[in-house]
Amino acid sequence: MYKVLITDPLSDLGIEKISQAEDIEVVRKTGLTHDELLLAIEDADALMVRSQTKVTADVIEKAKRLKVIARAGVGVDNIDIAAATQKGIIVVNAPDGNTISTAEHTFAMLISLARNIPQAYHSLLQGEWNRKAFVGTELNQKTLSIIGLGRIGSELAKRAKAFRMNVIAYDPYLSDDRAEKLGVKKADLEEAIAQGDFITVHTPLTKETKHLIDRNMFAKMKDGVRILNCARGGIIDEQALYDAIQEGKVSGAALDVFESEPPRDQPLLTLPQVIATPHLGASTVEAQENVAIDVSEEVLHILRGEPFKNAVNLPSVPAELQQKLQPYQELAEKLGKFVSQISKGALSQITITYAGEVAEFDVSPLSRTVLKGVLSHYLNNVNDVNAPHLAKKRGVQVVEQKTMSSQGFTQYIKVEVKTSTEIRSVAGTLLNGFGARITKINDYPVDVNTHGHLLFIEHQDLPGAIGRVGTLLGSQNINIATMQVGRQMIGGQAIMILQIDKPLPDKLIESIKEINEIQSLYEVDL
């Protein structure tokens, strides 16, 4: 039974499926204090949040079973991704579910800002009839500068164009083609800042975008510019915005988000030029259902070990590629597991070589799986998420290469590890109808399947050595399922790989090691 902890208000309908799943216990606890969260997270397998819950490093540290943090929305700035990654916890979000709602909310703010609707309504409620104070401005033919033309920025651009606005956009990842398709003029940041009658931000909040719009930027804007932030508090420097409004440089601002939420004693909210909403961009019935359904599905997939889509701390793998790589995943992991279990000494380098058909793909997801296989021999809780991070932290160099030489196989993967004392390698292939096979160990050609419990023995190729091992195993009632031998030359160095039905008792291992011709023995669990 998996425990899924939900600590922010999520749509009932959106979480219906996960709540009814037989292997899931859903626990909803909203409005927790930080200390209460530290307690509640301890035995949770999954945590589902919106923007309110702060999933800080100490929360992640306290979690003993946590496998996934799911953000029912887009921005993940309330989650310490680095801490989650280090612990191998997958972070997923719902990147598409609230796009339209947030774009529509931003558009509502844009019109409200242009026509002073909130201020006029407020004045009317005060018993006033003041038509002079609230003269607005048309959107028609005005320039809207969009900083960050992602999902929401793009939807906003379409709506602004329908209102006959000139839309210009700054986004370092915006291609000419996409800008053209959207009918948007691509600009650099300075241009977008200098030309906008309205400037709106739609980037994530990151180290790079924190205070992207600062005092310097305000100085470069048109006099009377209007500013919108329906993305994240902190992208715009709030103090600089306050000063720019007071100086008359900025004639109005519409804010849905704040550096600290809920804002307390926020000076911007005392200014008549500022209109604001309490982080309502994604607060529609539709968006909340969408994001809750999306992350519930992701959580179910992750807990059940099935493929999932929207991990924030794993590079995204297109579905088509994922499908092509799927058959190789098991081979990649088993090669890593095998080679690490037959190596001694401190690990310093892992070289992964791909040849044949598999080398035609982007193999980086497979390399992660190889790393997971290798490192899980040395460390607990290694997975695809934290494997590269752990390798780096331990100073293990990872080399990924492709070669033309596939050793006669249609596809071929070789994993070589270098330790402080030796170099070992294990290679394998996928055989039609037989699945993953290990085809080479060090320089010995073999044919071993990738399941169960194996003994890998290095010995001198002398008559009787193999028989003595067999006799000892038989005497202890250990059945040998399959056996492979290989040698470099008659009487020289040789290997034996025995597939046995159960692990050996320590005493028996010692007895085998005492046989004269035996040089080393490794137990390998695959």
Site residues for ligand NAI, 245-284, by CB under 6 A, read: 256-257, 279, 281-282
**From the candidates 279, 377, 424, 437, which is the catalytic residue?**
279
Q: How far apart, in whole angstroms, are the C-alpha atoms of residue 437 and residue 335?
A: 9
**From the candidates 261, 357, 400, 523, which is the catalytic residue?**
261
- The three-state (H, E, C) secondary structure of 313-373, written as one string: CCCCCCHHHHHHHHHHHHHHHHHHHHHHHCCCCCEEEEEEEEEEHHHHCCCHHHHHHHHHH
CB-CB contact of 117 with 142 (8 Å): no
Q: Which does 50 bind (CB under 5 to 8 A by kind): ligand HPV, ligand NAI, none?
A: ligand HPV
Looking at beta carbons only, is 30 or 410 nearer to ligand HPV?
30
String marking each residue 260-279 x if it binds ligand HPV according to CB under 6 A: -------------------x
Q: Beta partners for 427?
A: 414, 440
Position 102 contacts ligand NAI (CB under 6 A): yes
Please identify, among the stretches 151-159, 296-304, 479-487, 505-513, the one whose residues bind ligand NAI according to the rule CB under 6 A: 151-159
Please identify, among the stretches 109-117, 146-154, 426-434, 494-502, the one whose residues bind ligand NAI according to the rule CB under 6 A: 146-154
Q: Provide the angle, in degrees to the nearest 10, between the axes of the packed helices 285-303 and 99-115.
A: 150
Q: How far apart, in whole angstroms, are the C-alpha atoms of residue 242 and residue 308?
A: 43
CB-CB contact of 427 with 358 (8 Å): no
Count of chain residues binding ligand HPV (CB under 6 A): 11
* Annotation says 304 is catalytic: no
Looking at beta carbons only, is 256 or 297 nearer to ligand NAI?
256
Q: Provide the angle, in degrees to the nearest 10, between the axes of the packed helices 506-514 and 465-475.
A: 160
Residues 6+ apart with CB under 8 A from 433: none
* Annotation says 301 is catalytic: no
Q: Beta partners for 275?
A: 254
Position 73 contacts ligand HPV (CB under 6 A): yes
Looking at beta carbons only, is 48 or 217 nearer to ligand HPV?
48
Position 283 contacts ligand HPV (CB under 6 A): yes
Among 282, 355, 382, 498, binds ligand HPV (CB under 6 A): 282
Position 340 contacts ligand NAI (CB under 6 A): no
CB-CB contact of 50 with 72 (8 Å): yes
**From the candidates 232, 377, 437, 459, which is the catalytic residue?**
232
Structure tokens at 23: 């292997």
CB neighbours of residue 414 within 10 Å: 22
* Shortest distance (Å) from residue 210 CB to ligand HPV: 16
Which 8-state DSSP code applies to residue 268? Answer: G
Looking at beta carbons only, is 212 or 221 nearer to ligand HPV?
212
Q: Which does 67 bind (CB under 5 to 8 A by kind): ligand NAI, ligand HPV, none?
A: none
How distant, in Å, are the alpha carbons of 160, 163, 274, 280, 513 from that of 109? 12, 14, 11, 11, 77
Please identify, among the stretches 137-145, 202-210, 339-347, 492-500, the one whose residues bind ligand NAI according to the rule CB under 6 A: 202-210
- Residue nearest ligand NAI, CB atom distance: 150
* Annotation says 232 is catalytic: yes
How distant, in Å, are the alpha carbons of 3, 24, 48, 185 from that of 27? 7, 10, 10, 48
Structure tokens at 40: 């509640």
* Shortest distance (Å) from residue 17 CB to ligand NAI: 23
Please identify, among the stretches 159-167, 210-218, 281-289, 344-352, the one whose residues bind ligand HPV according to the rule CB under 6 A: 281-289
Closest Cα partner for 266 from 241, 288, 290?
241
Position 74 contacts ligand HPV (CB under 6 A): yes
Query: Which positions lie near ligand HPV, rule CB under 6 A?
Result: 50-52, 73-75, 98, 279, 281-283
Query: Which positions lie near ligand NAI, rule CB under 6 A?
Result: 73-75, 95, 98-99, 102, 147-153, 170-173, 202-205, 208-209, 230-232, 256-257, 279, 281-282
Catalytic positions are 232, 261, 279
